[in-house]
Structure 1
Amino acid sequence: MSMIEEPVSGREGVSGAVTTPIGLLVPPADGAVPADAAVVYPGLSFRAHGLGLREMTPEGYDSVLEEVGHGARLLAGQGVSVVALMGTSLSFYRGLSFNSELEREIERRSGLPGLTMSTAIIAACRAVGARRLAVATAYQGVVNERLLAFLAQNGMEVVSLAALDILSIEAVHKVPDDEVTGLGREAFARAERPDAILISCGGLSTRPAVRALEEETGVPVITSPLAGLWAAVARAGHDPRVASEGKLFQQHFPVT
């Protein structure tokens, strides 16, 4: 496991004041801050801790659960303001109650506000007013089944599903941008009147897909990595809206 601090265009926010870093628990062992952070929020600072997840399976997720609490404590010791678990399937694979338990464990171990990427995608769907979803994922069968169950538990209706059938964390980070866009396009084409496209998997590169698909379809495109950043920034007390990004980034984080 490793922990890396990566300032996003320095440590100053838009007001010029020094900002407290935002803590991210990321599945890959290298603990790198997601590249999108520097592009979307250049005025903020992030620190990350790697969990060492190798495979997107229930057994793989089970193997790193103890590292979630440990990593949350280490990030708190580095002075972060919030701890976000940036893994969607790692937080939804045991259902709604378990996702809430993970957030409580992060908060207990860190003493800070905590959230998961699964919480973020649900908040993002609600923020853009979406319930009927065209879903695109990187996952294999059993993980897709658990995602659909989690979405249903949160009042979402899945009207189509397209998946890449990927097992390893290493492989998911190598998926080309045009393949992600094509996957989202396939999910939308299979759906009847979806409110939004949801692209689930924090390891996918999704900014180009969001731009292309929102222009093509006219519906919001919610993606795990971008929703995770949007929610983490909001929970840290910052305004998460970014005028140059997609439809989600025109919205505030919903108050529940």
Structure 2
Amino acid sequence: MTLEPIGLGIITPSANSIMERDFPRLEIPKVGFHFSRVLNSEDSLEQLSAMKERAREAAQLLSHARWVKAVALGCTSGSFIGGVGYDEGVSDVLTEASGLPSITTSSSILVALRALGLRKLAVFDPYEPWLSAKLVAYLQGNGFEVVASHCNFGMVRTEGLDDYQPINEWIAPRMPDEADGVYIGCTNFTWLRGIAPLEKAIGRPVVTSNLATVWKLLQIAGYPHPVPIAGTRLSQLDVWETA
């Protein structure tokens, strides 16, 4: 059977410069990425909370593109800012507006971590402390134990240079022995091609916001088989139909 083209619709924060660059690099057969934006000029409670409704029109417009099969809000903080269960409400808004299966980055993270059997997490993100604390609370409220949390990494060190190595060098020496895996937050922060080298260096699985988002989007869009996303452990799991 010939696979028809599949479009993945992604709503990005307006300041995001990573997803539109990194996702097409994956060169997944028959998959195209389509993007829309919502306001995010600062990580304030007001702007992050407003994303839920602002994403409504963006989801509707993405659904107009031919072959689009699923939609995601590609923002971590914008989909956990309201606490446990908030991500599900955001997904409901996207589905109502687009008529398509929808996810958020935060809900995708939970599924990915559980698929890998991770429970004790070391969490790394570029957020200010108040926002990082909300991320930790969201993960803990969903049944994960956060054994270490590090935040406030300056994205300017890696964003313009298109270099994941500073992130990996920040994380590797800060890994506690009791953590069974790593979660790296923020869709404007994580480099897909840096995950496999970090997993090799620390000997444990790594989930990032962008990895979880594209992995789950492919599933709900009906892509028929697993995709080896940048050589990561998550993409090698035999859980494609059930995750």
Normalization by structure 2: what TM-score? Answer: 0.88
The 1:91–1:243 alpha-carbon spacing in structure 2 relative to 1, beyond 3 Å, is closer
The aligned counterpart of 2:126 is 138
1:110 aligns with 2:109: no
Q: Which amino acid aligns with 2:5?
A: T
Task: Structure 2: state its 5+ residue gaps.
Answer: none
The 1:226–1:148 alpha-carbon spacing in structure 2 relative to 1, beyond 3 Å, is same
Q: How many residues align?
A: 238
- Give the deviation of 1:211 after TM superposition: 2.1
Identity among equivalent positions (%) equals: 26
- Over residues 116-136 of structure 1, what are the superposed CA-to-partner deviations in whole Å (9 max), with x where a residue is unaligned? 000111111111110100111
Higher relative contact order, chain-length normalized (CA < 8 Å, sep 6+) = 2
1:119 aligns with 2:107: yes
- Give the deviation of 1:29 after TM superposition: 5.7
Normalization by structure 1: what TM-score? Answer: 0.84
The equivalent position to 1:72 in structure 2, one of 53, 59, 71, is 59
The 1:100–1:244 alpha-carbon spacing in structure 2 relative to 1, beyond 3 Å, is closer
3-state SS in 1 of match to 2:171: helix
The equivalent position to 2:191 in structure 1, one of 191, 206, 215, is 206
The 1:170–1:93 alpha-carbon spacing in structure 2 relative to 1, beyond 3 Å, is farther
1:220 aligns with 2:208: no
Q: What is the aligned-residue RMSD (CA, Å)?
A: 2.5
**Greater CA deviation, 30-39 or 84-93?**
30-39
Task: Structure 1: state its 5+ residue gaps.
Answer: 1-14
CA distance in 1, matches of 2:18, 2:185: 20
The aligned counterpart of 1:184 is 171
- Give the deviation of 1:16 after TM superposition: 5.2
CA distance in 1, matches of 2:18, 2:147: 34
CA distance in 1, matches of 2:158, 2:130: 17
CA distance in 1, matches of 2:128, 2:212: 22
The 1:135–1:30 alpha-carbon spacing in structure 2 relative to 1, beyond 3 Å, is closer
The aligned counterpart of 2:235 is 249
The aligned counterpart of 1:193 is 178
- Give the deviation of 1:96 after TM superposition: 1.8
The aligned counterpart of 2:220 is 235
CA distance in 1, matches of 2:25, 2:177: 33
